[in-house]
Amino acid sequence: MIEYNEDDEYAEEAPEQKRGRSAKLIFGGSLMLVAAIATTVAANITINSNKKAEFGQGLFRISACDQWVGIAPTYTAATYPSGTSRVNGLKIMGLDAANCKGVNFKIQLWKTGSATALDLFVDSNGSNSNRVMLSVCKVCTISTNQQRLDAVSLINSAGQNIGYDDGWEYVDFDATTGDYRWFLQIPPSTPLATNSAVNRTTVE
Output the pLDDT for position 23.
43
- What is the structure's pLDDT at 52? 44
Average pLDDT over residues 150-174: 95
Q: HSE-up of 175 (CA within 13 Å, CB side)?
A: 8
* pLDDT above 60 for 78: yes
Highest mean pLDDT among 1-15, 22-36, 52-66, 123-137: 123-137
Alpha-carbon distance 108 to 127, whole Å? 16
* pLDDT score at 111: 94
- Pick from 162, 107, 160: nearest CA to 152: 162
More confident residue, 85 or 54: 85
**Separation CA 112–CA 55 (nearest Å):** 16
Is pTM beyond 0.85? Reply is no
In this predicted model, which residue has the larger pLDDT, 26 or 192? 192
User: Among residues of the chain, what percentage have pLDDT more than 70?
Assistant: 72
Sorted by where each begins, the domain ranges of the chain are 1-43, 49-203
pLDDT tens, 176-199?
A: 999 999 999 999 999 999 999 999
Higher pLDDT, 134 or 55: 134
Verify cis geometry, omega within 30 degrees of 0, for the bond prior to 15: no
* DSSP secondary structure, the chain, as one string: -----HHHHHHHHHHHHHHHHHHHHHHHHHHHHHHHHHHHHHHTEEE-TT--EEETTTEEEETTTTEEEEEEEEE--S-BGGGB-BEEEEEEES--GGGSTT-EEEEEEE-TT-SSPPP-EE-TTS-EE--EEEEE-SS----SHHHHHHHEEEE-TTS-EEETB-SSEEEEEETTTTEEEEEE-TTTSEE--BGGG--EEEE-
